[in-house]
Structure 1
């Protein structure tokens, strides 16, 4: 294509005018360019779960406020592997962010984070977040930081966990006798269900549905939001509202990746992640209030066991005394400061 002198002068003049006006450096032009920092966050829950919905909203807000400099892509539903795999990626720097339960793979590095999952410890959400937003949470974040990870201030909610089965409803501790139940990889789950005389089997979440479908295990335990979004009601018949364990997710970061970010970008990232964590807590509470009816309409049969009887079994079996010894006097005192006497 030929460019005559007149066309060249017109084009040059137009370019100079744009440059002089400052539009070339305008935010809307900068945002059209590739992000300066392109990070990933992995989760093990379905994309429709409130955790992933709110994380996506947080990452959108972060990208907007940083003028496109910081982009975080969300990989839900174990797209990057199971929890142990993603945790290894996080520590190695192949994954920049990861949401992980303190009682799950995180406890392999920081064992005391599992204390928040102590069986039948918390009676309600006021106790849960009184502990996690208070002294116990601050103490655990300190331990996570010392282990070389970055952790955001606010814990994301996974809810109180309930037991589902294909064979029978769980009404009393005796109903757990010998029950083959799937639990996440984690010492605390194994200890809890062994103390209740069942047969726990550790299976990664991405294999739970198929394990229930093929009867490798008879039951599993999870929050209702997970039972719904993962469609576990298709392969389970009963749901017993034991609320035996509260579970939540720490929002973790690879330290090297985090320290590469300018301070202003780190501040914006933390601000939105923590703000949306608070909104996600409300989502889960509202969702749980309506989920029983939703799941009943899908064929799941509910019952309400006597929770006190399970706690009695754990006390008599020495479960709480064992956990106190494992976690230590300082951590146990911070827990009981909110829950009341357990051991």
Structure 2
């Protein structure tokens, strides 16, 4: 029977007693920002269920969604401090490692098959080591999704329609720059604060994948949904490198293998929801339009130029990802 560890010994592993048995059980906390029904929520719950079946009871993954343990930046810091075992950042990774700004580039990723090749040939060999230099480790790459724009002013058909629009974005510098280039007035804000900002008019609109829009109930406070598909954002199963190594090797093996196995579930679930949620948005009373994607692509050149200028090897990364898209 393992010795019960207190938070003073290792705050990353919360310990509880198995009811009726008095046996120590180590809780592995998985924090994320997704609400119930979101892709993040379903993905983490699927991971926890599969992992717990294989862990045998001594260790148990517990999910904490809806920003219960803080926003993305806060949870990344908690990993470093050993106060959390896993988290699931997406856009914020570009604030940790500059090269992850690659996935803030508009219209870069074509589809999920393209993304799988990018994971194998770019993220794993080139970006994983950069993350480890910052004290983190990525166990697997999941998904946040293809992003769309909602607002209360007008349908967004071209970048000109964004002129002056107060638009919430996540905390990624390249997302802000992209929307500035398009003419909007973007402001980073924690996801947990967005509903109120839209409801009160502090923000006119926001951009997110459909599953986040729906699970956050933005359709209740937004009139227009514009299908722009402007960015595909991966999500990363992240742990603290040092605290991860404190876990027994067999436990690490189960968790890492399970995280990678869940990727197919994530992609299948995301694709299904992309199809289903448009109808739900329309039923909620939103006006939906297909944006002129070529107009947005044409306006995106300066964002790519700045990425090439400001991130070492940025242009080469973009070229490699684009070449992988040509294999379809």
TM-score scaled by length of structure 1:
0.84
Q: Distance in 2 between matches of 1:246 and 1:333?
A: 17
Q: Secondary structure at the match of 1:251?
A: strand
- Which residue, out of 81, 102, 122, partners 1:135? 122
Answer with 231-240 or 275-284: which moved more: 275-284
Bigger Cα displacement from structure 2, 245-254 vs 323-332: 323-332
Structure 1 residue aligned with 2:107: 120
Q: 1:275 to 1:31 in 2, by over 3 A?
A: farther
**Runs of 4 or more above 3 Å deviation:** 29-36
Shift of 1:120: 1.9
CA distance in 2, matches of 1:212, 1:295: 16
What is the CA-CA distance between 1:37 and the residue it aligns to?
2.8
Please tell me whether the aligned partners of residues 30 and 67 of structure 1 are also in contact (alpha carbons under 8 angstroms).
no
Separation of aligned partners in 2, 1:123 and 1:65: 35
Q: C-alpha displacement at 1:32, in angstroms?
A: 5.2
Residue 213 of structure 1 and its aligned partner are, at CA, apart by 0.3
Does residue 1:326 correspond to 2:310, yes or no?
Answer: yes
Question: What is the aligned partner in structure 2 of residue 18 from structure 1?
Answer: none
Identify the residue that residue 185 of structure 2 maps to in structure 1: 199
Q: How many residues align?
A: 307
Distance 1:287 1:319 in 2: 30
TM-score, reference length from structure 2: 0.88
Q: Any conservation in 1 of the 2:131–2:138 contact (CA below 8 Å)?
A: yes
User: For the residues of structure 2 that align with 1:34 and 1:112, how far apart are their CA atoms?
Assistant: 45
1:8 maps to none
2:97 equivalent to 1:110:
yes
Query: Does the Cα contact within 8 Å between 1:63 and 1:69 map onto a contact in 2?
Result: no
Provide the residue aligned with 1:148 in structure 2.
Answer: 135
Would the alpha carbon gap of residues 165 and 30 (structure 1) be closer, same or farther in structure 2, given more than 3 Å must change? closer
Deviations 1:264-297 (A, max 9, x none): 1111111112112320111011110111111101
Which of the pair is proportionally richer in helix?
Answer: 1
Counterpart for residue 165 of structure 1 = 151
How far 1:50 moved relative to its partner? 3.0
SS of residue matched to 1:100: coil
SS across alignment from 2:107: coil
Deviation at 1:33, TM superposition (A): 5.2
Distance (whole Å) between structure 2 residues aligned to residue 197 and residue 338 of structure 1: 31
Q: Deviations over 1:21-45 (max 9, x none)?
A: xxxxxxxx99955454322111001
The match for 2:68 among 55, 75, 79 is: 79
Structure with higher Rg: it is 1
Q: Are residues 1:336 and 2:325 paired? A: no
Secondary structure of residue in 2 paired with 1:134 = helix
1:243 is paired with a residue of what secondary structure? Answer: coil
- Cα distance between partner residues in 1 of 2:251 and 2:29: 15
Distance 1:47 1:138, change over 3 A: farther
CA contact (8 A) 2:51 2:258 kept: yes
